[in-house]
Amino acid sequence: MTARERFRTITIAHNGDYMTIKSRLLPVAGFALALFSGVVCAQQIQPNRHDFQPPVTPVAREIYDLHYLMLAICLVVFFGVLAVMIYSIVKHRKAVGAKAEQFHENTTVEIIWTLVPFLILVGMAWPATKSVLAIKDTSAPDITIKATGYQWKWGYDYIKGEGEGISFLANLSTPYEQIYAGAQRGTDYLLETDRELVVPVNKKVRIITTANDVIHAWWVPALGVKQDAVPGFVRDTWFYAEKEGVYRGQCAELCGKDHAFMPIVVRVVSADAYSDWVAKTRQAQGIQPAGVQVAAAETSAPAAAAPAAPAEDLSKEWNKDELMARGEKVYGTTCAVCHQGNGQGTPPMFPAQAGSDIVNGPKGPHIDLVMNGKPGTAMAAFGPQLSDVDLAAVITYTRNSWGNKPAENVVQPAEIKAARK
């Protein structure tokens, strides 16, 4: 056997048995180099495709730096151990006449292999603990916002700060056709909402999370924020955005059929732009400067009353066409995810609206079902989520679509208001 063949074939003796291991060090090294080069090229073509989103908060930067510190430590340990293994295999193989040492209980070696991992773990735990403590420090916020998870949308209530009293729901706004009908997808496919959470730059924003149905999670990577939203509990997190822009996230807990369809969009603006937004939103929602109390908002469960919405005259008699036009929009953002855009649903979990006995029967039970939900099923209560006008519109829409022809085919906002009492 030539020296080259001996190098490529390593024979290891073990209990009199022999096994042959083909040495592939050069091909493995070549593959690793090619993989590394490919990742670098991909990063240059599409930045952050294989990396964290660029951090825009102090905590996000700490998480980013901590990630690479841990990666560096792991790589040093990995390649250090690998180098020792390769050296031992090549240098001390039987083929070159190496003779194994026979010893038992070496105190020095045992101290070394205990102390070195301990020091490595301490070196990793120290910066990680500092970051965790920073993440948990929600004291002295400039703005406090409650984020409530629903299947499948987010509700926001500004409960402290300049925007106190503002409340709205944020639904997925990606067109139905892009999701189900094969239409060309937009740049922010499944990461766009009909309402954005607006906050000012360089302000500490505390996010209080809870949920109305199942466990959700409020997660925006660029802000370094991820906090579970648990029904019946309130938890909190915070961020301090140092750069204006739009930052997108998603629910990070598997929360049901349309878990993938409840994105989060945070728009960070200047102080002046935020003040303008607050003034316009308050005017649209008919909100007085005095807001709700923080303590009450933090300790109570999601309210049964309708969320704040643009001030509208509930005594107005809406005609059928007006209700149908508005109801179609509400259905598309609120109901279509379960009952489908064509009203056929996905039985038995999500019954069809087309031909439904409830939809085609008296409107009283239909109103009660939509407002209060149905315990033990996936039908959520939409009374706390939608305004009186939106509820009247979407019920009217379903009662007049897909061939439905009930005797009572129009529901007025005043009827919804009466049903709340």
Q: Where are the domains of the chain?
A: 25-54, 56-137, 143-299, 320-420
Average pLDDT over residues 252-261: 90
Task: Specify the pLDDT at position 109.
Answer: 86
Instruction: Please say if the pLDDT value at position 17 is more than 80.
Output: no
State yes or no: pLDDT of 10 exceeds 60. Answer: no
CATH superfamily of 143-299: Cupredoxins -  blue copper proteins (2.60.40.420)
CB 66 within 8 A of CB 131: yes
| Residue 379 in tokens | 């039908």
CA atoms lying within 13 Å on the CB side of residue 19: 3
Q: What's CA 182's distance to the chain center, in Å?
A: 25
Q: Which residue has the higher pLDDT, 334 or 236?
A: 236
Predicted local confidence at residue 315, as pLDDT: 67
What are the E-state strand segments in 72-202? Answer: 143-150, 153-160, 167-170, 197-200
**Same fold? 143-299, 320-420:** no
Instruction: Answer for the pair 195, 169: CB distance below 8 angstroms, yes or no.
Output: yes
CA–CA separation, 204 vs 239, rounded Å?
Answer: 6
| Residue 6: pLDDT over 60 | no
Q: pLDDT band for position 246 (50/70/90)?
A: very high
Q: For residues 365 and 381, is the Cβ–Cβ distance under 8 A?
A: no
DSSP β-ladder status, 225-229 and 245-251:
unpaired
Q: What are the φ/ψ torsions at residue 29 (nearest 5 degrees)?
A: -60, -40
First to last CA, the chain: 94
* Distance from C-alpha of 409 to C-alpha of 389, rounded to nearest angstrom: 15
Place of tokens 């999701």: 179
CATH number of the domain at 56-137, out of 1.10.287.90, 1.20.120.550, 1.10.10.10, 1.10.260.40?
Answer: 1.10.287.90
- Confidence at 182, pLDDT banded by 50, 70, 90: confident
What's residue 223's pLDDT?
Answer: 96
Categorize the per-residue pLDDT at 2 as very low, low, confident or very high, splitting at 50, 70 and 90. low
To the nearest whole number, what is the mean pLDDT of the chain?
82
Three-state DSSP at 338 gives: helix
For the domain 320-420, what is the CATH code? 1.10.760.10
Question: What pLDDT was estimated at residue 140?
Answer: 93
Q: Read off the pLDDT of residues 378-390 as tens digits, 9 standing for 90 and up.
A: 787 888 878 889 8
Q: Give the rounded distance of the alpha carbon of 17 from its chain centre.
A: 55
pLDDT at 41: 38
**Statement: the pTM of the whole predicted model exceeds 0.85:** no
In the prediction, which pLDDT does 287 show? 76
Please name which of 379, 378, 396, 400 lies closest in space to residue 388, comparing C-alpha atoms. 396
Q: How far is it, in rounded angstroms, from Cα 406 to Cα 363?
A: 9
pLDDT at 49 over 90: no
